Every structure is written in C-alpha cells, then in structure tokens.
C-alpha cells in the first residue's frame, strides 16, 4: 500500500518561498519539494516505514521530511503531522519499544527524529520517546575506556557516531525540558570524554572510534556523518550553556571538512572511499547527516559562513546527480540509482540551502 492511497502524502506541491538571503530561493524550495515527493513515493502505509531503506535510515528519512516541513516556504503541517503520527503508531512497539533496539546508534537517530517531531507538533509523546531513547543509551555508559557509550548490547566497540548522537540528543532534550540538569550533565560528560580520547585527529577530522586498547589510532575512517553529527551536538551545547567555545570547535571541524581534498574534492562532499562504485547500504545516508548538521551550525553563526559550500552541493546535485525527482549517491555525478537513503541525503542538502 502506498501513501497516495491512504495519507495523500504525495499531494505536496511547490509553494511560494519566503524571501531568500541568496539567489534561487524559489527554485531551492521547488527542488526540495520534488525530492520530498520522491521520498514519499516509497512510504508504505502498511508498515509505517519507507521502503528501500533499513531501520536507522528510516529515522533519517523521517527527519529529512520534518526538516523540510520546518524550512521557510513550507507547505503547511497537515500531511507531515499525520505522517509522523502514522510512523510513530506503527513502530513504537517494535524491537525493545520506544524505538530502542540493540544498536545504540540506531536509538540515537530515532531519538533525534522524535525530538524534531516534538519541535513541530508539541506532541508530548515524542519528547517522552526521545527521553526514553537517551536514557536507554546512557544505560550503556560505563568506565571502560574512561567513559563513553557502547555501540551495541554486546559492548563490542566504543565508536564515534553513537557518542555524537548521544551528545546531540541529550543536550537537545535539555534545551526543551524546563528545569533539566541531568541530560545536560550527561551530554557534557560524554563530550569531555570525546575530547579526552582525542577522537578529533590532528587534521581536525573525526575518526570512527577507539580500538580495543581504547586508543584513537587516527587510522579509522573519517566518514562524513562523523564530521556532521558532532556539529549538531556542539550547537546544542552552545545553546544550552552560552559557551562560544563549542561553536569555535564546530567551526574548526567544519572548516577541515569543506577544505579537505578527501572529503570535499573539487568542493563537492564525498566519502573517503567514493571510488567504490557500489557503496554499502549505510553509506548513502552519511552525507545527508553531515549537511543537516552543517545547516544547523550555519544558522547558529551570525555570518552564515557555509552558505557558499551548501549552495554548491545543491547545485551539483541538481545538475549532475538527478533523474527527475530522484537523486543518486555520487553528488558530483554520475547518477547511479535511487533509494530512500540517497533521497533523504539529497533532501538534507537541499533543505540546508533554503534561506
């Protein structure tokens, strides 16, 4: 069953954009609208999930649509509010309930999606779920390697992305929960551990995690999503504390990415192994997570220093990696194929370019 049959989610039409700070404001919104329509064509009302992608990438599909809803020039909340409720109702009891499962990073992605849904709807069940997710992640924090949160139930690996997601989620909860001190304390605890373990390497890029000796060797991959989620976490910590050092650190990482010959060859975002013709099922989501959080950082900075880089990604996607309403994996081209992960990543980049 498709969304068109039940939720009328494919009825989204381009709307007049609000005045944009740069050129092509109307076109930016129209491109994002087309990309959202493409993603919604995979929405399965039977499962409450987007076909073609897995569990954690579905969380990113949802957040991409919600961020489009939030952007200037959006088409209104009716359909997207219904979509969020449908996904929630049909999936809240899966696995360990409240969008928790045996991979703590999966839980973090869903927690952030429901935090965004709470921002837009003020439905308290979404905030309750985000809090349950953060508490679940914290239950896998211990003193091994001096702190940090494990990647999965068997406690096999203290990786970067899980801890970045926890920082952003917990600081974000604090910023929405009057009187909170617990979630901010936990977020700061994990951030200080992150710094102490030197997960940010000498090139100001973030490696993928620690080895079995609890060391960042600097040899693990610098995936784009590892560079991105930390930007969102640092922005939330700045919002929580007012400490500009968090934004300074975020800018140092972001500047390293946008000037990297590996992660941004020719100025277009790329994974370190993008010479591989066929990435695994996770990788197509990575660049979207970076762009979503770069957009968050860019909006938090008074001079919006990443406008040019963000615009360049949107332009390249539309000229070199687009087939109708669908987008592929290689943003510098050529277009390969479409799926929900590729599509939400494009939406993340296109929405970041709406101003």
Q: How far is 131 from 151, CA to CA, in rounded Å?
A: 18
User: What is the model's pLDDT at position 11?
Assistant: 44
Name the nearest CA neighbour of 261 among 198, 314, 205.
205
User: What is the model's pLDDT at position 79?
Assistant: 85
First to last CA, the chain: 35
Contacts of 296 (CB under 8 A, 6+ apart): 231, 232, 235
**Count of other CB atoms within 10 angstroms of residue 181:** 9
User: What is the model's pLDDT at position 21?
Assistant: 39
User: What is the model's pLDDT at position 78?
Assistant: 54
Q: How far is 311 from 291, CA to CA, in rounded Å?
A: 11
- Ranges of residues in the chain whose predicted pLDDT is under 50: 1-23, 76
At residue 175, the 3 state secondary structure works out as coil
Q: How far is 150 from 156, CA to CA, in rounded Å?
A: 7
User: What is the model's pLDDT at position 341?
Assistant: 97
Q: Where are the alpha helices (DSSP H) in 141-181?
A: 160-174
User: What is the model's pLDDT at position 14?
Assistant: 40
Torsion of CA 60, 66, 67, 71, to 10 degrees: 160
Name the nearest CA neighbour of 88 among 108, 58, 131, 53.
58
**CA distances, 237 to each of 123, 132, 163, 321 (Å):** 24, 20, 14, 35
Name the nearest CA neighbour of 327 among 315, 314, 342, 312.
342
**Count of other CB atoms within 10 angstroms of residue 188:** 17
């Amino acid at each position: 069953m498709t969304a068109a049959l039940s939720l009328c989610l494919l009825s989204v039409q381009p709307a007049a954009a609000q005045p944009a700070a740069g050129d092509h404001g109307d076109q930016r919104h129209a491109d994002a609208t087309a990309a959202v329509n493409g993603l919604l064509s995979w929405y399965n009302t039977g499962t409450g999930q987007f076909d073609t992608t897995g569990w954690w990438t579905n969380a990113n599909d949802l957040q991409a649509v919600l961020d489009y809803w939030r952007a200037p020039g959006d088409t209104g909340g009716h359909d997207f509010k219904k979509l969020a409720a449908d996904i929630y109702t049909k999936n809240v009891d899966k696995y360990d309930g409240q969008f928790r499962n045996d991979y703590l990073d999966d839980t973090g992605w869903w927690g952030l999606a429901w935090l965004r849904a709470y921002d837009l709807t003020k439905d308290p069940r979404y905030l309750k779920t985000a809090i349950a997710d953060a508490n679940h992640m914290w239950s896998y924090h211990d003193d091994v390697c001096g702190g940090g949160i494990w990647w999965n139930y068997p406690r096999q690996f203290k990786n970067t992305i899980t801890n970045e997601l926890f920082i952003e989620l917990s600081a974000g909860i604090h910023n929405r929960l009057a009187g909170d001190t617990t979630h901010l304390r936990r977020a700061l605890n994990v951030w200080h551990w992150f710094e102490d373990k030197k997960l940010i390497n000498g090139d100001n890029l973030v490696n993928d995690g620690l080895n079995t000796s609890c060391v960042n060797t600097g040899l693990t991959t610098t995936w784009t999503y590892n560079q991105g989620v930390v930007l969102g976490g640092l922005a939330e910590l700045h919002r929580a504390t007012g400490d500009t050092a968090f934004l300074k650190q975020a800018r140092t990482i972001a500047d390293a990415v946008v000037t990297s010959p590996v992660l941004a060859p020719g100025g277009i975002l790329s994974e370190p192994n993008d010479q591989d013709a066929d990435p695994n099922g996770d990788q197509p989501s990575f660049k979207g997570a970076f762009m979503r959080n770069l957009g968050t950082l860019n909006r938090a900075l008074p001079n919006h220093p990443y406008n040019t880089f963000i615009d360049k990604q949107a332009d390249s996607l539309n000229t070199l990696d687009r087939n109708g309403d669908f987008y592929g994996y290689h943003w510098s081209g050529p277009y390969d194929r479409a799926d929900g992960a590729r599509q939400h990543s494009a939406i993340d980049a296109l929405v970041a370019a709406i101003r």
